[in-house]
């Protein structure tokens, strides 16, 4: 399972793309994130990745019952639970990923940003 799933954009298109990949008949798949080359259909890793997105969103929504700043959210380490070295890289990755999750949740009217704080709707 991916401990730190980074996507260029987290939105409905990202999820739809992963679902479309399941329909492609191919003999090999090459990933750019940790796993490398698959010579069998990687349905399970794709489903795991979608589950990770959902799990991260669930944990974030649970945390946002009370309003929090982005910095406070980053310190929860929802995605990069056990960051390695360099620490600054993992903090930056966590911030970028959490911002994408927040934007996705805001677009779906599940989170509001008020006075620099995010909260669950």
pLDDT in tens, 88-117: 888 898 999 899 899 989 988 999 999 999
> In the prediction, which pLDDT does 121 show?
95
Length of the chain: 121
Beta bridge partners of 55: none
Residue 35 domain-assigned? yes
Residue 5 domain-assigned? no
Residue range of the domain that includes 26: 12-120
25 backbone dihedrals φ, ψ, rounded to 5°:
-90, 110
> In the prediction, which pLDDT does 70 show?
96
pLDDT of 25 strictly over 80: no
Token pair for residue 77?
């380490």
Number of domains observed in the structure of the chain: 1
Instruction: Give the predicted TM-score (pTM) of the model.
Output: 0.70
The residue among 42 and 78 whose pLDDT is bigger is 78
DSSP symbols for 30-86: E-SSSS-EESS--HHHHHHHHHHHHHHHHHHHHHTTS-B-HHHHHHT-SSSSS--SS
pLDDT in tens, 26-56: 777 776 656 677 777 666 667 777 787 888 8
Residue 114 domain-assigned? yes
Residue 76 domain-assigned? yes
Distance CA 82, CA 115 (A): 30
């Amino acid at each position: 399972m991916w401990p730190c799933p980074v996507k260029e954009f987290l939105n409905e298109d990202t999820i739809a793309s992963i679902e479309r990949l399941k329909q492609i008949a191919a003999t090999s798949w090459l990933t750019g994130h940790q796993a490398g080359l698959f010579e069998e259909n990687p349905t399970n890793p794709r489903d795991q990745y979608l589950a990770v997105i959902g799990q991260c969103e669930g944990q974030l929504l649970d945390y946002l019952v009370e309003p929090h700043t982005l910095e406070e959210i980053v310190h929860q380490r929802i995605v990069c639970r056990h960051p390695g070295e360099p620490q600054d890289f993992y903090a930056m990755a966590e911030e970028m990923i959490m911002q994408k999750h927040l934007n996705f949740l805001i677009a779906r009217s599940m989170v509001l940003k008020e006075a620099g704080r995010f909260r669950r709707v």
